Structure 1
Amino acid sequence: MSPAASTDKKQSAGARILGSASAGICEIAVFHPVDTISKRLMSNHTRISSAAQLNSVIFRDHAQQALGKRLFTLFPGLGYAAVYKILQRVYKYGGQPFANEFLTKNFKDNYETLFGPKTGKALLSATAGSLIGIGEVVLLPLDVLKIKRQTNPESFRGRGFLKILADEGFGLYRGWGWTAARNAPGSFALFGGNSFAKEYIFGLSDYSSATWTQNFVTSIFGASASLIVSAPLDVIKTRIQNKNFDNPESGVTILKNMFKNEGITSFFKGLTPKLLTTGPKLVFSFALAQSLIPAFDKLLTK
């Protein structure tokens, strides 16, 4: 056994579920309007050159209404968003430790031989995150419905959730390949950036022993790296998902049109507001989950 072997404390499955679900609930309560703004900016195909245009892109048909009424329109798809976000956070934040434990048990020596004990441990965490990110496509239909409600509510045409499931079937998994391609490097960077910061900035041997402040700081590194790495594929994914159900468009077609009509900078549309909006959201939920999981574990094991 290597002297630098992982000493991370293993939390119970119950603690991981409760901690991740609580983080998801808090995240959706605070950041859903911000997420709606980000998605609408990414879905916009025109250049925004004035405050009036920005107002129209964000609030759409309600742009001329009073501020209070406009703000209320930033909560479309809240039901889909809540279910999706809680399941996503439980799967991602609660599932990554299990994947990390599996990889550590079976491949730790390989990683330490290739990259050294500290870097190898951080890369194991990043690889586990990447694998979990790929599997996240299982939740894609809920993400699709959330984004359509936020950016293209006309596509529902008065249909309810069950009716849409019956009508669209596996069409709700449209863009799954692009989603997996975006999630793999994005989750790798999220968990990897977080782990590298814990390893090299704070020198933690047990990542679960991090304080709230340490979790917050390391989450900033992970979230920023994740958003930058995944930005181009995230724009394509969003544009695939916000099309009408009866007028789908492939990711390749969207990619070609973006190059032709909008230029290479279009692949980073919404990145700045995303770093300023989605970044804090991801930092908030990731840091909260990492702090709550050990706290729940202490409560459950008393």
Structure 2
Amino acid sequence: MSPASGSSKDKSNSGIARVLGSATAGISELAVFHPVDTTAKRLMSNHTKVTNLSQLNSVVFRNYANEPVSRKLFSLFPGLGYAAGYKILQRIYKYGGQPFVNDILGTRYGADFENAFGKKTGKALLSATSGSLIGIGEIILLPLDVLKIKRQTNPEAFKGRGFLKIIQDEGFGLYRGWGWTAARNAPGSFALFGGNAFAKEYIFGLTDYGNATWTQNFVASIFGASASLIVSAPLDVVKTRIQNRNFENPESGFTILKNMAKNEGFGAFFKGLTPKILTTGPKLVFSFALAQTLIPWFDNLVPK
């Protein structure tokens, strides 16, 4: 079953295929797009207006702004170990886990969704709802996300400490901002899986999402990813600023929210959205489409 699975009428793929397909997508995404993610996070963490290329160079490359191009590019790979752990687990959990939730919801409430919204819309909304629930549960991986973002945007926060030492020192402090993360993930994942499912239903007329071709998965993923990034953008900025603070000097989401509105204006809530759509968008489209294509492919390889 593809990550944007539909009702129980869709073919159900094996758990092994879901894990393998999602993990491969995560590894591929990380290899290609980690520098892009670092750039987007640094732009979102920046509190000043960027009006020229010189300022952009300083914000993105920081201490390496005046270094040769090769060193500049290398500086965009901080926290790769944390990023690998987080991204692969996240993709397995999200892309591989959503079909499990969708299967359960489809069995129990599929008829209710169809009766309330119609067959096509009900099936797409079921996929979106299961995606939203998976998005909320994603906060279990928050510590890895926090450490990845700090490595990308505020490496001084580590002060020479390794992973285990930070876990020991900070404990549940690594879950700081979990509420804002859940609030961002719920509509974002709803839009991701919902937009993807609506495209498959109404553009391609698919009755089984798992039968989508690579092209169909790619186009549907563009709809889902674009909707997800736009919907989650304001809370994503708040989440990123919570997570990039020093461990000993945290700041609440409401304080960040108030200061952003007061000092930076409404536009601050969409900082980094354009580069995120242009950069993180393709990353999400790439991995989402790849996972949806690989899961059925792996399922055909796994002995029944």
Band the TM-score falls in, shorter-chain normalisation: over 0.9
Corresponding position of 2:53: 51
Corresponding position of 2:3: none
* In 2: Cα distance, 1:144 partner to 1:69 partner: 25
Corresponding position of 1:201: 203
Alignment of 1:223-302 (within 5 A): 223-301=225-303
CA distance 1:5–1:63, shift in 2 (3 Å) = closer
Corresponding position of 2:223: 221
Alignment of 1:147-186 (within 5 A): 147-186=149-188
Deviation of the 1:7 alpha carbon: 2.4
Task: String of CA shifts for 1:230-274, please: whole Å, max 9, x gaps.
Answer: 000000000000000000000000000000000011000000000
Deviation of the 1:5 alpha carbon: 6.5
Corresponding position of 1:102: 104
Corresponding position of 1:33: 35
CA distance 1:292–1:238, shift in 2 (3 Å) = same
* In 2: Cα distance, 1:286 partner to 1:85 partner: 13
* In 1: Cα distance, 2:29 partner to 2:230 partner: 21
Deviation of the 1:301 alpha carbon: 3.3
Corresponding position of 2:145: 143
SS of residue in 2 equivalent to 1:301: coil
Identity fraction in percent: 76
- Where do 5+ consecutive residues of structure 1 fail to align? none
Deviation of the 1:6 alpha carbon: 4.5
* In 2: Cα distance, 1:14 partner to 1:125 partner: 21
Corresponding position of 2:62: 60
One-letter amino acid of the structure 2 residue matched with residue 271 of structure 1: L
Task: String of CA shifts for 1:64-98, please: whole Å, max 9, x gaps.
Answer: 10111111000000000001000000000000000
One-letter amino acid of the structure 1 residue matched with residue 244 of structure 2: N
Task: String of CA shifts for 1:100-143, please: whole Å, max 9, x gaps.
Answer: 01000000111111100100000000000000000000000000
The answer on whether the counterparts of 1:127 and 1:188 sit within 8 Å (CA) in structure 2 is: yes
The answer on whether the counterparts of 2:7 and 2:102 sit within 8 Å (CA) in structure 1 is: no
* In 2: Cα distance, 1:163 partner to 1:231 partner: 32
Moved over 2 A (4+): 4-7
One-letter amino acid of the structure 1 residue matched with residue 68 of structure 2: A
Q: Say which is worse superposed, 256-265 or 104-113, in terms of deviation.
A: 104-113
* In 1: Cα distance, 2:243 partner to 2:255 partner: 13
The answer on whether the counterparts of 1:6 and 1:205 sit within 8 Å (CA) in structure 2 is: no
- The alignment covers a number of residue pairs equal to 299
* In 1: Cα distance, 2:108 partner to 2:71 partner: 55
One-letter amino acid of the structure 2 residue matched with residue 96 of structure 1: Q
* In 2: Cα distance, 1:250 partner to 1:123 partner: 33
- Where do 5+ consecutive residues of structure 2 fail to align? 1-5
SS of residue in 2 equivalent to 1:288: helix
* In 2: Cα distance, 1:256 partner to 1:142 partner: 27
The answer on whether the counterparts of 1:6 and 1:121 sit within 8 Å (CA) in structure 2 is: no
The answer on whether the counterparts of 1:178 and 1:237 sit within 8 Å (CA) in structure 2 is: yes
SS of residue in 2 equivalent to 1:167: helix
Deviation of the 1:180 alpha carbon: 0.2
